[in-house]
Each structure stands twice: as structure tokens, then as C-alpha cells.
């Protein structure tokens, strides 16, 4: 792989890492929101939706980690 294509991959990885950081921040905020709900909301649809959002976002973060690792093998 030539220098230009390696640089393009490095640029893509940097953007993926930026997106990952944003998603981690959102996950942290959702987790905080879930933890700060009053006990009466535990087990409600609202609580379940927040919990589901955190799981989905964390799954996306994990997938981005996989992509970053795969691209490191290419470069």
C-alpha cells in the first residue's frame, strides 16, 4: 500500500475514533440519566428505553473498535 492510501486510512481511523468518542460521551450521559432516575421509574418503559439505548450505543462503540483494529491490519 502506498503512502497516499495509508494516509487516507489513517484519516478514516481518526474520524472513526472521533465518532467513537462522541458515542462514548452519549452513552455516559444516558447511563447517568438512567442512574439518576427516581426509584419509582425503575422497571418502567422509560427506564427500559434508556437502558436499551445504552446497550445499543455500547454495541456500536464495540463495532467501531473492531473496525479500527481491522484497519490497523490493512495499514
pLDDT in tens, 26-72: 999 999 988 888 777 778 888 889 999 999 999 999 999 999 999 99
Confidence of residue 1 (pLDDT cuts 50, 70, 90): confident
Helical H segments across 1-75, by residue range: 3-36, 45-74
Q: How far apart are CA 2 and CA 52, in angstroms?
A: 43
Q: How far apart are CA 61 and CA 55, in angstroms?
A: 10
pLDDT at 75 over 70: no
**Where are the domains positioned within the chain?**
3-74
Q: How far apart are CA 65 and CA 26, in angstroms?
A: 16
The neighbour count for residue 4, using CB atoms within 10 Å, is 8
Amino acid at each position: 500500500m502506498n503512502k497516499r492510501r495509508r494516509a487516507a486510512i489513517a484519516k478514516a481511523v481518526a474520524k472513526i475514533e472521533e465518532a467513537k468518542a462522541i458515542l462514548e460521551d452519549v452513552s455516559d450521559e444516558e447511563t447517568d440519566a438512567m442512574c439518576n432516575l427516581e426509584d419509582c421509574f425503575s422497571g418502567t418503559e422509560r427506564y427500559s428505553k434508556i437502558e436499551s439505548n445504552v446497550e445499543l450505543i455500547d454495541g456500536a462503540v464495540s463495532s467501531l473498535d473492531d473496525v479500527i483494529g481491522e484497519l490497523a491490519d490493512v495499514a
